[in-house]
Structure 1
């Protein structure tokens, strides 16, 4: 029997560009610089723009939409619009009008078994643990990507990208035996290699999320 199309609610971890001024050019330059730092992470990634803290009157949403596309990311929607006139400008530019959800992340009714990988994760490889935790008993090479909806444990050196809480689980964590990562992320909150404090470099690290800030703790055992 052929399955019929269906429409269901869901939630995804999305990157959010926080605008603090109506100057679209400076915001796009910031975005292009970020993408250039980690193109494998950001290219073709969906992006939401938050304009809540701007005047909104002088934002050229068509230029903003075009600039996001040129950066390599996919413009999804705009949140924080204050009135119907602004919302009309948003939709005319090709964005969806979005509202910030206050619903907390709900874990799946049944968590998947922990995914355990014994072999090295080589450059260009991607490993994803859906609805569960991921354990890597080896190294993660530069250019590789390990993703989990739950937590990630890496028992070797991580030189690639580690993305935990990929579906929005803020309680997720990352434990890494030797942190040399290109990027670490929990529930969409990330730091690039050059943003990680050198005191945590090449150390055994527990990484958690405090509000929207990544918390690094050195493990002594």
Structure 2
């Protein structure tokens, strides 16, 4: 006789956004959060968020609780904290959150590209990026891909998919999802795509949502870079 069950585990791709904090200073966080929500209120409130703490800061439970309170007060959907030496797993769980390891292969996400062991630690930041990650299959809604170096996608990126790279992002097809380059603050990072129809494009934390993308660049082959804090759009091939 078939055994009765009341639950069932199923594998499923879930997209989460990683919120990298560079400081735990509340005044700076409040100001930046308010600015980000003013520019893109719906997107930031709807997505599940994993909090990535600054590695150089040892956070106390009280400090982290105040940060979480600031985020939750703005209706942000916090689900976990990235594993970090800044705070213990016990403290994270005491605050009602789970702990995840960024780059895990669980859930079908593509793992972060590992930094090459033969690179000396003293190399400049741009030279110490991880290896380039190449994806030759379509990136579908709900998938998230993270590269510690450059990220090259040779197939379409669907609506609801998310690309994150510490270096450049190249999409040799239609970009409909989100592309976040220079996620560790590299302002020299760039985004290249053959068809720009993105939900969001970001470089080193400076971003434009779909409604703010220049209409003249939609469906075009585009090269996107930063000039100071301004996002610049230019043709991928000279016109």
Tell me the alpha carbon deviations over residues 142-197 of structure 1, each in whole angstroms, 9 at most, x when there is no partner: 00001110000000101100000011111000001000000000001111010111
TM-score (norm 1): 0.60
1:69 positional shift = 1.2
- The equivalent residue for 1:170 is 187
Q: Is this contact kept in 2: 1:178–1:204, CA < 8 A?
A: yes
1:45 positional shift = 5.3
Q: Give the 3 Å change call, closer, same or farther, for CA 69–183 of structure 1 in structure 2.
A: same
Q: 1:199 aligns with which of 216, 220, 225?
A: 216
Q: Is this contact kept in 2: 1:13–1:188, CA < 8 A?
A: no
Secondary structure of the 2:159 match is: coil
Tell me the alpha carbon deviations over residues 65-107 of structure 1, each in whole angstroms, 9 at most, x when there is no partner: 8563132067xxxxxxxxxxxxxxxxxxxxxxxxxxxxxxx51
Q: C-alpha distance in 2, partners of 1:119/1:32? A: 35
Secondary structure of the 2:134 match is: strand
- The equivalent residue for 1:6 is none
1:212 positional shift = 0.9
> Does 2:95 align with 1:69?
no
Give the CA RMSD over aligned residues. 3.4
Tell me the alpha carbon deviations over residues 19-39 of structure 1, each in whole angstroms, 9 at most, x when there is no partner: 49xxxxxx9598277231354
TM-score (norm 2): 0.56
Secondary structure of the 1:124 match is: coil
Gaps of 5+ in 2: 1-19, 54-66, 79-123
Q: C-alpha distance in 2, partners of 1:209/1:165? A: 11
Secondary structure of the 1:156 match is: strand
> Does 2:54 align with 1:36?
no
Q: C-alpha distance in 2, partners of 1:196/1:13? A: 26
